[in-house]
Structure 1
Amino acid sequence: MGYTGRIVVARSEKPLADADVLNESSYAGGWRAAQLDGDLRNALQMLVAQTGAPAITAFILDSDVADVEAATPAGGYWHVYLHPKKAAEYGAPELGQTPAEVTEQALAWAAEAGLTADGEAVRTALDAANVFAEETFYELLAALGVKPAQSE
């Protein structure tokens, strides 16, 4: 049995969530990630509104699938399943975008977020099939430019 819950990621000076946080991590450039126990509806919209900056979330289902959504204050939005074959097995609806379209949208999101993304690494993460979907999500974050904080 794997992890089921939501991971929220945004640039913020304060913690991203007040309750039900299993783990919170800091990243370079003031980015934070919080792993929530369960789901928080409208998490993406709340993060963008609270921070006034681009944000990204992933709902992880039993560590098998990551349902990823990202948005910007200017109205940019993209949505993708990591491990899409597993998502289809779970009955997730088709999203109707090609990997190339999602990659383009993800790179635009990263640019608006002030990040330096690697397009090839983004595409590789979108196609990855790790054992754990959350591992694939963290690879996607790194490809988008959300990097671990440097050790002091």
Structure 2
Amino acid sequence: MGYSGGIYVAKAERPAAVGDLDVLWSKEFPDGWHELQLDGFPESSALPGLVTATGAPALVAVVLDSDMAHVQALSPAGVDWAAYLHPDNAEAFGAPPLPHSPDEIVELAVAWSTEAGLVADPEAVRAALTAKNTFAEETFTELLAALGISSR
């Protein structure tokens, strides 16, 4: 049985949007970025609240049994995108279609990264969006690196 819960990535150690949810583990990246894996699922309003509170772009991933993740990203300027990691599994779970094509998602993800002061690799973003790792969390780590959030 895999992990099910939310993962926040933001420029905040423990953003208020986490609320009462337990943090299972956290990881710090350069330039003030933090990743928090939660024991539970974020509320739907968590991402906009996180961006407002930090004044910086943020990501939230909802992982289901480590089989797939629904990633949502938002920036203060309104760059908004969503993607499924392990899209075949997402479809099997009955996930609704995304509003953007894969090419549009890559373009928006790169714009989000730029606004965050990061340097994204568009081909690595595309590769992460189509990766078929065993665990969705592994693919999420690849996506973060592709967006420019990494341990360096």
Deviations 1:5-48 (A, max 9, x none): 00000112x32346411011100111001000011202211210
Aligned to 1:2: 2
Return the match for 2:46 from 43, 46, 68: 43
Structure 1: 5+ residue runs without aligned partners? none
Q: Matched residues, percent identical?
A: 53
Q: What residue is the counterpart of 1:22 in the other structure?
A: 24
Aligned-pair CA distance for 1:85: 0.5
Select 1:64's aligned residue among 63, 67, 72. 67
Tell me how far apart the structure 1 counterparts of residues 66 and 149 of structure 2 sit (CA, whole Å): 21
Determine helix, strand or coil for the equivalent of 2:117: coil
User: What letter is aligned with 1:137?
Assistant: F
Q: Distance in 2 between matches of 1:21 and 1:61?
A: 17
Paired with 1:75 and 1:106, the residues of 2 have a C-alpha distance of: 12
Maintained 8 Å contact 1:8/1:43: no
Following TM superposition, where does structure 1 have runs of at least 4 consecutive aligned residues deviating by more than 6 angstroms? none
Measured in 1, the distance between the counterparts of 2:46 and 2:96 equals 20
Q: How many residues align?
A: 148
TM-score normalized by the length of structure 2: 0.93
Relative to structure 1, the CA distance from residue 86 to residue 28 in structure 2 (aligned partners, 3 Å threshold; closer, same or farther) is: same
Q: Secondary structure at the match of 1:129?
A: coil
CA offsets, 1:103-127, max 9 Å, x none? 0000000000000111111111011
Q: How big is each residue's C-alpha offset from its partner over 1:81-137, in whole Å with a ceiling of 9 and x where there is no partner?
A: 010100000000111422111000000000000001111111110110100001101
Instruction: Measure, in 2, the Cα distance between the counterparts of 1:116 and 1:105.
Output: 13
Secondary structure (helix, strand or coil) at the match of 2:49 reads helix
Partner of 1:11: 11
| TM-score computed with the length of structure 1 as normaliser | 0.93
Q: Specify the alignment match of 2:105 in structure 1.
A: 102
What is the distance in 1 between the residues matched to 2:60 and 2:92?
21
DSSP-derived class of the 2:103 partner:
helix
Structure 2's unaligned 5+ residue stretches are none
1:138 aligns with 2:138: no
- Counting only pairs closer than 5 Å after superposition, residues 67-146 of structure 1 correspond to structure 2 as 67-146=70-149
